[in-house]
Amino acid sequence: MILITLLFAATGSQAVPPDMQALANGIWIDRQRLRALPTQGPAWDKLRADADQPIGSPDLSNQEDPTNVLILAKALVYARTGEPAYRDAVIAGCLAAIGTEAGGESLALGRELMAYVLAADLVGLPPEQDAVFRVWLDTVLDEKMLEGRTLRQTHEQRPNNWGTMAGASRLAVAAYLGDAAEFAQAAIVFKGFLGDRTSHAAFRYGDLAWQADPANPVGINPRGATREGHSIDGVIPDDQRRGGGFTWPPPKENYVYESLQGALAQAVILQRAGYPVLDWEDKALLRAYQWLHEQAGYPAEGDDTWQPHLVNAVYQTAFPVVTPSRTGKNVGYTDWSHASLPAPQGLRINQP
């Protein structure tokens, strides 16, 4: 606890040390709450259908491999129903994933790894297999990937989708291993990404055209930021730049939503550990979604449709949702696991 306190004091961060006991009750969702979730309806039906799909060989070096989220589906169904076949598949999948990150980039590892860690946490690996899994996790954050960076370095250097995906997996690993110091350091980095440069400012930025203050760049622009009379409050500049330099109306840049896949996952895990992350930097995460909807006219689509269910639940907002939602690259099924409150009337779209 002293080490964690010193970490925060050294950076000026106001975040609190992690509540490791809360994480022991579930990294992604409280186990008691999960066991009370419904086993009917379109969201459950989609989850169960995905959990029943056969899976191929896990490949953490392939940033498009969907096996990770299917393993997570099996874990969620097992955690709700207790049906042992799902747990057996999760155990086999987690062990098969070990070492498959070799030869891949840190983006692939960041996208893929978290779901396996969450799945292992949900089902509880047998002691022998758990020991093997933990030994691997203890080394994977420091493994140098194809582009020459480790997962930890990517989190601390890349203020975009590479970094947010890496951070989500880093936090999941730290939580699973019970490494409070690693978890606390990852929290510091995330607070810096949200805009607190006194917490972490060692990111390496690309083109600064969408930054509110190019001399002091941040991961998410501050409240009230404008440029040429237009609001850029909530813009994620290092992903929005992928659509080109500043222009209006703004490009509908999908990389921004991918960045939010990782950022939102980090926020869920951090909140589980007792951090007031949803309020950090004037509700930076919420402002990012508001800008996409109100300024860019760009609601979530495709594999980002799991996000607004979660945002609506934690912020009590009314962003449009799709049910059942599609899974993301690192997680999904939030229309079942987290959207305990129904979306306002007229905003929910039921799909077969």
Summarised one tens digit per residue, pLDDT across range 19-51 is 999 999 999 999 999 999 999 999 999 999 999
β-pair type (230-231, 348-350): unpaired
Asked if the model's pLDDT at residue 348 lies above 80, the reply is: no
Asked if the model's pLDDT at residue 62 lies above 50, the reply is: yes
CB neighbours (10 Å) of residue 107?
A: 24
Predicted pLDDT at 16? 61
The letter for the amino acid at 324 is P
Summarised one tens digit per residue, pLDDT across range 136-169 is 999 999 999 999 999 999 999 999 999 999 999 9
Confidence of residue 210 (pLDDT cuts 50, 70, 90): very high
Predicted pLDDT at 17? 81
Mean pLDDT of the chain: 92
Closest to 84 in 3D by CA, of 34, 123, 133, 33: 123
> In whole angstroms, what is the distance from residue 110 CA to residue 52 CA?
25
Summarised one tens digit per residue, pLDDT across range 294-311 is 999 999 999 999 999 999
Cβ atoms of 176 and 167 closer than 8 Å:
no
8 or 183: which leads in pLDDT:
183
Asked if the model's pLDDT at residue 15 lies above 80, the reply is: no
> In whole angstroms, what is the distance from residue 58 CA to residue 112 CA?
9
Share of the chain above pLDDT 90, in %: 91
Joined tokens for residue 339 = 């959207």
Summarised one tens digit per residue, pLDDT across range 228-282 is 999 999 999 999 999 999 999 999 999 999 999 999 999 999 999 999 999 999 9
Across 70-90, average pLDDT: 98
Predicted pLDDT at 58? 98
Looking from the CA of 30 toward its CB, the CA atoms found within 13 Å total 9
Asked if the model's pLDDT at residue 351 lies above 90, the reply is: no
Summarised one tens digit per residue, pLDDT across range 93-119 is 999 999 999 999 999 999 999 999 999
> In whole angstroms, what is the distance from residue 114 CA to residue 171 CA?
8
What is the CA angle 248-251-252, rounded to 5?
140
In the block, residue with structure tokens 């480790």: 150
β-pair type (321-323, 348-350): parallel
Predicted pLDDT at 139? 97
Confidence of residue 340 (pLDDT cuts 50, 70, 90): low
For residue 249, is the peptide bond before it cis, meaning its omega torsion is within 30 degrees of 0? yes
Asked if the model's pLDDT at residue 80 lies above 60, the reply is: yes
Distances, alpha carbon 105 to alpha carbons 49, 117, 151, in Å: 31, 19, 9
Phi then psi for 102, rounded to 5 degrees? Answer: -60, 130
For residue 324, is the peptide bond before it cis, meaning its omega torsion is within 30 degrees of 0? yes
Predicted pLDDT at 3? 37
Predicted pLDDT at 339? 78
